[in-house]
Amino acid sequence: MLKGGALSYLEKLRHVQQINNSWLCIGLDPQPDKLPVEAVARWDEPLLPFNRAIIDATADLVCAYKPNLGFYLQWGAAGVIALERTIAYIPDHIPIILDAKIGDIGHTQAAWGKGLYDEWGVDAITVNPFVGAPAVRPLLSGRPEKAVYVLARTSNPGAQQFQGDLTDGHGLSADVMRAAPAWAGDGDGHCGFVVGATYPAELAAARALAPSANFLIPGIGAQGGDLHAAVVYGSDAFAGPVINAGRSVLYASAGLDFADAARAAARALRDDINRLREAAALPARS
């Protein structure tokens, strides 16, 4: 615990994982062609009421929410306003990971940090590490209550072209995972990694390369990622991984019952994760 009783990012994450018995994160990614037509037809600005309904239905089932910036920018200024209000609506005890994949030189990253951390109040940001340490240090320096998730192994089919193969320890992904832990020091925020569940063997290799880093694991649900590997190799010594699902939860129904359907899908996925945790005999953390 930090001075003044505040929690570090990992403490906040672990706390809600214990309360909700959940490693599930929901990606709040509104797509115009997938929003439930019957429901959103009642709203002039559909994003915020849609997101509020999803949050109300699932807040006791998740360990985090992850809105992706791109899904809001496509709506222009109205989308940015909806994102800001969505962030404000999420209960304070639940971490918010803004998926923006930012990665620029130091003073630009510092501006991102001021806007996303200080103004919007998100807890973590996804970061592209291509420019190296300057993409991370300005975001974490002196912010122990915050985190970044550095792109290490993305879940898309073409990931290996530039990222390499983590299982042989060579390539960009492996280099990033070796270097990035040094980009945060004592008193700074946490440097975690994005490692996709669509490459299960590489999840195991990633954990070996970064034994103490928290993992944000996309690719579950619509992308068909390996949930068993996400559970077995995702957990670190302090907290469970953040296992993200988006479309399979948000769009479980195209009708007026979309929020109830989202809750049912989220509960089923959380329970599947917990059954795998029990089968793997992963220790409970107090």
Q: Is the per-residue pLDDT at 286 higher than 50?
A: no
Across 28-39, average pLDDT = 86
Q: Does 129 fall in a domain?
A: yes
Return the amino acid letter for 154: T
- Structurally, the chain folds into a number of domains equal to 1
Q: Which residue has the tokens 């009708």?
A: 255
Q: Does 286 fall in a domain?
A: no
Cα end-to-end span (Å), the chain: 14
Q: Which residue has the tokens 């109205």?
A: 78
Q: Does 285 fall in a domain?
A: no
Is 101 a residue of the active site? yes
At 82, the pLDDT band (50, 70, 90 cuts) reads: very high
Q: Does 63 fall in a domain?
A: yes
By C-alpha distance, which of 230, 246, 248, 259 is closest to 97? 246
**Greater pLDDT, 57 or 284:** 57
Domain with 160 in it: what CATH number? Answer: 3.20.20.70
User: Domain range for residue 68?
Assistant: 3-277
Query: Model's pTM, two decimal places?
Result: 0.94
Q: Which of these is catalytic: 3, 34, 66, 101?
A: 101
At 164, the pLDDT band (50, 70, 90 cuts) reads: confident
Q: Does 284 fall in a domain?
A: no
Q: Does 241 fall in a domain?
A: yes
Alpha-carbon distance of 67 to 32, in angstroms, equals 15
Alpha-carbon distance of 96 to 112, in angstroms, equals 15
Q: Is the per-residue pLDDT at 98 higher than 50?
A: yes
Q: Does 236 fall in a domain?
A: yes
Q: Does 178 fall in a domain?
A: yes
